[in-house]
């Protein structure tokens, strides 16, 4: 990329001076891509450093930002109110100019905080700092730290309130994608959505470029390399539960309360959470990536704006992946206003190669990797015995998934109307929606 973008310096400036990114070879199993671009930007991380938690009103305006090192405080160090009365607890994602390249076996993701030739703008948007719950009286999707019955999570089990398996303060589950979408819109406009594919994709590439590691469950390491770069991953997350013990304890409902990582503020790291004795003896790591708590694991996240049309072997033998970029057109039925972005593997397995393309798709093109090779996350799918089955997409895995979980762990087994004790979502706000 040798295009000159400025002539007023000692030497001409080109696009290389303004982007940073990663490069990998699809034939190489090492999950750590190579850092490319301006190396100083890999140290300063201007895009990732702009991510910050805030309290956002229903009209989209920011009530206040939260303290960089402690989300219980405002950025002026006064006490913050995170119970919903001041607004939703969100993480602001900055404008990102991004470009994806495919050259033979080489793949690249390049990003910049400046408009560069050939780069696409992913505009500023917001994702919930916490996994979403529901304001029960109004059926509004919410991101709050609140342990009152008004925001009871899980399946809204009031008879559990005084028990160790209480759903007070936990994320809401047993909700279909269709209802998550409706509950988000209940905040007042189609700018409010449940977890969206675009934001899931944006978060993944921000993480992948920052850590230059596709194994997001690699051991967390707060120290920088000798060159001043991030290293390691985000840790195992809340994924170490024994499925039988979890089921016996609370039927696979959420275990981690929203806001458990508030002490980290906008920083990346994890905070230990010890399960109640009724489960057994277990402490899990609750991660936060720059203000986004539990970006994978704990509960699956229903994700809107994408879907799959999976055809039986006798009816075409294709698994088609569709994306809609306008939340006003999201639907649970049919492909109108959706664009075909690629074809998915017909069998499940660890992700070996991504579709990628010009939009940076994070759904698999091929499986056959392992828990520490290639993309390190697992893809679930199934084929109908006949006809075409329309499926939604869940991301992240859940609390007994172990190494199968991750940012790009995905399942295409469920229809948009399906529910489960471990199916949750996030809350998103997208300012640019008409």
Give the integer Cα–Cα distance in Å for 360 and 101.
9
Q: Check whether 9 has a pLDDT greater than 50.
A: no
Establish if 53 belongs to a structural domain: yes
pLDDT at 3 over 70: no
In a domain, 89, yes or no: yes
Domain count along the chain: 1
Torsion of CA 201, 429, 191, 197, to 10 degrees: 20
Residue of 258, 259, 126 lying closest to 187 (CA atoms): 126
Does residue 2 have a pLDDT over 90?
A: no
| Residue 6 confidence (pLDDT) | 39
Flag whether 52 is in a domain: yes
CA distances for 347 relative to 350, 353, 376, 379, 393, angstroms: 10, 14, 16, 9, 15
What are 14-31's pLDDT values in tens digits?
667 899 999 999 999 999
Could you give the CA distance from residue 171 to residue 239 in angstroms, rounded to a whole number? Answer: 16
pLDDT higher than 70, residue 240: yes
Q: How many CB atoms lie within 10 A of CB 347?
A: 12
189 in a structural domain: no
The pLDDT of 240-251, averaged and rounded, is 98
pLDDT in tens, 189-226: 999 999 999 999 999 999 999 999 999 999 999 999 99
Tokens of 81: 């109110």
Residue 33 CB coordination number (10 Å) = 21
pLDDT tens by residue, 98-133: 999 999 999 999 999 999 999 999 999 999 999 999
- Please state, for a pLDDT cut of 90, what percent of the chain lies above it: 95
What six digits make up the tokens of 371? 């828990």
Q: Which of 358, 364, 355, 346 is nearest to 406 (CA)?
A: 364
pLDDT of 337 over the 60 cut: yes
Which residue range forms the structural domain that includes residue 25? 4-128
Residue 261 placed within a domain = no
Residues 6+ apart with CB under 8 A from 147: 168, 169, 257
Q: Give the model's pLDDT for residue 433.
A: 87
Residue 7 has pLDDT above 80, yes or no: no
Residue percentage of the chain with pLDDT more than 70: 96
- With contact defined as beta carbons under 8 Å apart, do 294 and 375 qualify? no
Instruction: Give the tokens for residue 242.
Output: 């024994």
What end-to-end distance do the CA atoms of the chain give, in Å? 34
| Both structure tokens of 327 | 């939340």
The answer to whether 249 and 418 have CB atoms below 8 angstroms apart is no
Q: Which of 341, 111, 331 is nearest to 203 (CA)?
A: 111
Read off the pLDDT band of 13 (50, 70, 90).
low
* Structural element, H or E, at residue 197: helix 197-211
With vertex at residue 155, the alpha carbon angle to CA 154 and CA 159, rounded to the nearest 5 degrees, is 100
Residue 11 lies in a domain: yes
Task: Say yes or no to pLDDT of 255 above 50.
Answer: yes
Residue-wise pLDDT tens digits, 161-196: 999 999 999 999 999 999 999 999 999 999 999 999
81 lies in some domain: yes
Tokens standing for 59? Answer: 């009209």
> What is the average pLDDT value for the chain, to the nearest integer?
96
Q: For residues 67 and 74, what is the distance between their CA atoms, to the nearest angstrom? A: 5
Task: Give the confidence band of 8 by pLDDT, cuts at 50, 70, 90.
Answer: very low
C-alpha–C-alpha distance, residues 53 and 75, integer Å:
10
Which pLDDT value is given to residue 17?
85
* The dihedral sign for the CA sequence 189, 195, 196, 200: positive
Residue 434 banded pLDDT, cuts 50, 70, 90: confident
Structure tokens at 262: 């508030």
pLDDT, position 14? 64
Tell me: the pLDDT tens digits for 355-383? 999 999 999 999 999 999 999 999 999 99
pTM for this model (two decimals): 0.96
Q: Answer yes or no: is 275 within a domain.
A: no
Q: What are the helix and strand counts (H, E) for the chain?
A: 4, 30
Give the residue-averaged pLDDT of 342-351. Answer: 98
């Amino acid at each position: 990329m040798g295009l000159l973008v400025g002539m007023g310096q000692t030497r001409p400036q080109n696009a290389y001076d303004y982007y940073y990114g990663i490069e990998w070879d699809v034939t190489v199993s090492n999950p750590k891509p190579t850092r490319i671009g301006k190396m100083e930007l890999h140290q300063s991380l201007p895009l990732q450093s702009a991510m910050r938690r805030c309290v956002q009103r229903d009209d989209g305006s920011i009530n206040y930002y939260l303290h960089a090192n402690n989300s219980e405080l405002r950025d002026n160090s006064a006490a913050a109110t995170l119970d919903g009365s001041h607004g939703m607890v969100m993480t602001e994602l900055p404008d990102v100019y991004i470009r994806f390249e495919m050259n033979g076996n080489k793949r690249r993701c390049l990003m910049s905080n400046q408009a560069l030739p050939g780069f696409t703008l992913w505009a500023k948007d917001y994702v919930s700092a916490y996994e979403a719950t529901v304001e029960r009286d109004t059926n509004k999707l919410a991101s709050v730290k609140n342990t009152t019955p008004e925001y009871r999570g899980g399946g809204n089990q009031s008879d559990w309130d005084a028990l160790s398996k209480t759903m007070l303060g936990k994320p809401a589950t047993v909700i279909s994608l269709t209802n998550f979408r409706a509950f988000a819109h209940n905040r007042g406009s189609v700018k409010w959505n449940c977890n969206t594919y675009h934001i899931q994709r944006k978060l993944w590439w921000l993480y992948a470029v920052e850590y230059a590691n596709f194994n997001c469950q690699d051991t967390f390491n707060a120290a920088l390399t000798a060159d001043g770069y991030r290293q390691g991953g985000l840790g195992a997350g809340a994924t170490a539960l024994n499925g039988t013990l979890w089921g016996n304890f609370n039927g696979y409902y959420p275990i981690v309360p929203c806001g458990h990582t508030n002490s980290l503020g906008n920083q990346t790291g994890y905070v230990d959470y010890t399960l109640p004795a009724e489960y057994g003896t277990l402490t899990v790591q609750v991660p936060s990536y720059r203000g986004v708590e539990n970006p994978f694991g704990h509960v699956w996240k229903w994700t809107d704006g994408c879907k799959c049309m999976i055809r039986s072997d006798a009816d075409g033998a294709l698994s088609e992946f569709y994306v809609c970029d306008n939340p006003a057109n999201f639907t649970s039925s049919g492909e109108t206003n959706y664009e075909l972005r690629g074809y998915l593997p017909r069998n499940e397995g660890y992700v070996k190669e991504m579709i990628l393309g010009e939009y940076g798709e994070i759904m698999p093109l091929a499986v056959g990797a392992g828990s520490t090779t290639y993309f390190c996350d697992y893809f679930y799918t199934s084929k109908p015995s006949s006809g075409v089955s329309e499926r939604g997409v869940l991301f992240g895995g859940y609390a007994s998934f172990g190494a199968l979980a991750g940012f790009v762990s995905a399942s295409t087994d469920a229809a948009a109307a399906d529910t489960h004790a471990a199916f949750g979502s996030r809350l998103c706000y997208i300012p640019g929606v008409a």
